[in-house]
Amino acid sequence: MHSLVYRSVASESFTLSEIYKMLSDARDSNADHGITGCLLYHNNHFLQLLEGTKEEVLSLYNRIKKDPRHREVITLMEEPRSERIFDDWSMAFHDYGQNGSSSYIKMKQIDDFFAKSGAYEKPSKLAIPFFTNVREILFG
Ligand SMILES: Cc1cc2nc3c(=O)[nH]c(=O)nc-3n(C[C@H](O)[C@H](O)[C@H](O)COP(=O)(O)O)c2cc1C
């Protein structure tokens, strides 16, 4: 098993409804290729965890990096791992913009911690505990 986390900046023209449409196609394709993970959207930024075989993860990441719907793609973490965090999700999604819920407040705290640590800008070991917490908050 291989895990990869990257961040990117969404293109101005990539609207939330288009993101949901992309996600629907992505989930079908991920299920076919044994990819799981989580995509977070916040302040025009994406943070995505990809999990699967090394070959499938890198092949998908190469396609994602060329996608014109986002830019400034930076790899934050890449490593072999024994277990998936989102083993039953072909791509979980959370939009931090849906505020007001308790999960939003908890996610915001984790996000602030992650941002303060500088983990959005440079490779970080914090990416795995971050997504483990995200899973706990979103799905219990
Ligand atoms: C932020 C972001 C996340 C994406 N996540 C996935 C994903 O998890 N799985 C997927 O198949 N495509 C994902 N895509 C879409 C790919 O970039 C690409 O459009 C898709 O794999 C189809 O590639 P193809 O046209 O070369 O076949 C994502 C795109 C963006 C911008």
**DSSP-assigned letters across all residues of the chain:** -EEEEEEEEE-TT--HHHHHHHHHHHHHHHHHHT-EEEEEEETTEEEEEEEE-HHHHHHHHHHHHT-TTEEEEEEEEEEE-SS-SSTT-SSEEEETTSTTSHHHHHHHHHHHHHHHTTTTTS--TTHHHHHHHHHHHHH-
* Ligand 1 within 6 A of CB of 22: yes
pLDDT at position 131: 94
Domain count, the chain: 1
pLDDT at position 63: 98
Kindly state the average pLDDT of the residues 66-74: 97
Tell me the per-residue pLDDT of 79-90, one tens digit each, with 9 for 90 and over.
999 999 999 999
Provide the CATH number for the domain around residue 127.
3.30.70.100
Kindly state the average pLDDT of the residues 55-71: 98
* Ligand 1 within 6 A of CB of 117: no
The Å distance, Cα 26 to ligand 1 centre, comes to: 6
Q: Answer whether residue 4 shows pLDDT above 90.
A: yes
Q: Return the ligand 1 atom nearest residue 39 CA.
A: 3
* Ligand 1 within 6 A of CB of 69: yes
CA distance 75 to 139: 25
pLDDT at position 99: 62
The Å distance, Cα 68 to ligand 1 centre, comes to: 10
| Domain range enclosing 54 | 2-139
Kindly state the average pLDDT of the residues 119-138: 89
What's the whole-number average pLDDT of the chain?
Answer: 92
> Per-residue confidence at 100, pLDDT binned at 50, 70, 90?
low
The Å distance, Cα 74 to ligand 1 centre, comes to: 16
Q: Answer whether residue 120 shows pLDDT above 80.
A: yes
* Ligand 1 within 6 A of CB of 10: no
